[in-house]
A and B are shown apart, each in its own frame.
Chain A
Amino acid sequence: MPGELFSILTFQGGYNTSVVLAGVIALGIGGGVIGVFSFLRKRALISDAISHATLPGIAIAFLIGIALGGTGRNLALLMAGAATTGALGVLCVQWIRDYTRLPEDAAIGTVLSVFFGLGIVLLSHIQTLQAAGQAGLNSFLLGSTAALTAGEAQLIGGASLVAILIALLLLKEFGAVAFDEGFAAAQGWRVTRIDLAMIGLLLAIVAIGLKTVGLVLIIALVIIPPASARFWTERLGRLVALSGTFGGLAGWLGGSLSALLPDMPAGAVIVLAAAAIFTISLLFAPRRGVIAWGIRRLRMRVRAASVRGLLAMADGYLPPDGLSYRVVRWRGYIDGDARITESGRTAASEMRRQDRLWQTYRTRHPEAALSFNPLTGTRIEDVLPADIVATLEAPSR
């Protein structure tokens, strides 16, 4: 089985499997790139409203397909239906938010459940019809890559690439609106139109991803990659690139696994792959990651404790609390008999001097002092030029 997984991962699992995998990767990249904008605009949940609102559209498109004499399983028709009611759902959310005093989350919850309920009613109705191809409709709920034909996968991949291209063209505009809506509007930009473009792209990704990932979980494809990427970078361009990469990676791993395990819903497998990336990011990212944050916090506590302890000792007192005692004891500044050691005497008087210099600097140059991170224990000689330090050493006039 590992051998089989490897051959799928390396696009050697047969023509159909490879095309489907490529389509899923493109979809993942698209979700990651486009998701960044709703994520930064703090409207990530709107995609959940969109995806759930697509269900009635899928059902209606299926019914229309049958009425026209087909099987109702034409993917393009189903996507069009999904996009139509998805858009309707967004418009409902916008309307409720703009014309009532309800916040957007309440509007999203309401619209999402109502549309989904309607969709389920229609779906149950379809199941009583015993029409051909109705079984395939269930894959829209939880997703399936097994049911994808090569042609459908090409459609998904191609549409994803177009959506990515449009998103990249509007990168600058989306970014400005997400950061400072008022400024963008004051420049004469139609913020609502830019938002609509963003939602349109989301809608496109949801509609093309529905059959693969399923409407219940597709929100993960536009939220988890940007959320993961945010841990690693402070720049918008890199955020977009990284989020797309993570989305593509989730599509690649999840798509391969689901090709290997056709009984597993593809959506769930892809989301779990994305979740693994998220977990790694959350823990191990260098600056924003939880571990890095914890270490910084711990070091800060030890540093502050050392300063506290040494300043107390400079005045002939014991360190004021347990932590500062342990720190100065561990550093050998104090012996077990509560006596200051030779190195402790040097360190304490140096700390007293540093403290006095910093205080003088803060009184004489309050504005300049602001630009220094007030890191306890930072040696003033390390951050200020020698001549300034010398003026601080001199007694005040």
Chain B
Amino acid sequence: MNPPRLIPFETRQPRNEIAPSPLSIRGLTVAYDDKPAVWDLDYDAPDRGLIAVIGPNGAGKSTMIKAMLGLVPTLAGDVRVFGSTLRQARRRIAYIPQRTSVDWDFPASAEDVVAMGLYGEIGWCRPVRRRHREAARSYLDRVGMADFAGRQIGQLSGGQQQRVFLARALAQKADLYLMDEPFAGVDAATERAIVNVMREVRDAGATVLCVHHDLQTVADYFDHALILNVHAIAHGAVDDVLTEELLQRAYGGRLAETEIRAIAGSA
């Protein structure tokens, strides 16, 4: 008896071609030297979702975002954004890198940095004009930073710097927001500003994918979650995913049993 004919791999997890996901990842694999960082990740982000990417340190959360954007070399994988290739969909994506990834002693004001979010719209070799500056100030206003437009960015507090990044992302008027630990080391006012902005853009039709480190607040701030530990452990609605069993699988001994139970109970 002949073995059955092999069928095309794409049929393993077919993409929804009619209503393409804001972010559809297939087989994303990244390694640093010989150490796997993200392994064979399949994921379809729900439309208009507020999605938390959670997982222990070194689980590949930031790497996943960077790899999706082509910022780190991948071994394999195919990423579609609203059904298009990354190259076609760049203008629909806003990326907020980790705040600590840049040197804030850079000769620029808060307004200058926010204006960078408009560079795609302004175009190459063209100057930033007054209307762009005014637009930048209006985005600063939306994150409660209107009074700091002219301040050199190094003189802002950590939370204020994060809000400048947030305003820059808003200026991109994107449909998919990718945020890398925006809540890390910020004050309560900034935390509220970020949550408000995430909800605003979601209500306006955008999707937000956010690397998040604080398990206590996942259920409050997000409606979906992707649990990652090199492999995808689980994804879905927050209530379905934040279970004792799945958290145990992702975090193992790194979280105390009581802690896991408390978080699972909160969802």
The number of A-B residue pairs with CB atoms under 8 Å apart is: 81
Interface string of B107-121 (1 = CB under 8 A from A): 111001100100110
Q: What is the minimal beta-carbon distance from A288 to any residue of chain B, in angstroms?
A: 10
Residues A277-300 near B (CB distance < 8 A): none
Q: What is the minimal beta-carbon distance from A37 to any residue of chain B, in angstroms?
A: 12
Interfacial chain B residues near A342, Cβ < 8 Å = none
Provide 9 A-B residue pairs closer than 8 Å at the C-beta atoms, listed in order of the A residue. A182-B97, A183-B168, A186-B178, A235-B107, A367-B189, A368-B189, A370-B187, A371-B157, A371-B160
Size class of the A contact interface (CB-based, 8 Å): 20 to 34
Residues A169-183 near B (CB distance < 8 A): 169-170, 172-173, 175-176, 178-180, 182-183
Interfacial chain A residues near B113, Cβ < 8 Å = 179
**Given A170-B125, A172-B127, A236-B116 contact (CB < 8 Å):** no
**Given A170-B125, A187-B119, A367-B187, A236-B107 contact (CB < 8 Å):** yes
Do A182 and B95 have beta carbons less than 8 Å apart? yes
**With A172-B127, A235-B108, A370-B157 given, can you name 14 additional A-B contacts, CB distance below 8 Å?**
A169-B125, A178-B106, A179-B113, A182-B71, A183-B95, A185-B70, A186-B69, A186-B90, A186-B178, A187-B90, A230-B107, A234-B108, A366-B187, A367-B189
**Given A176-B119, A366-B187, A371-B160, A186-B152 contact (CB < 8 Å):** no
Q: What is the minimal beta-carbon distance from A34 to any residue of chain B, in angstroms?
A: 16
Interfacial chain A residues near B124, Cβ < 8 Å = 173
Do B71 and A185 have beta carbons less than 8 Å apart? yes
CA distance A169 to B127 in the complex (A): 8
CA distance A175 to B128 in the complex (A): 12
Q: Of B69, B159, B160, B187, which is within 8 A of A185 by CB? A: B69
With both beta carbons as reference points, the residue of chain B lying nearest to A188 in the complex is identified as: B90
Do B102 and A180 have beta carbons less than 8 Å apart? yes
CA distance A65 to B128 in the complex (A): 47
CA distance A394 to B97 in the complex (A): 44
Interfacial chain B residues near A234, Cβ < 8 Å = 107-109, 152
Is A239 an interface position by the 8 A CB rule?
yes
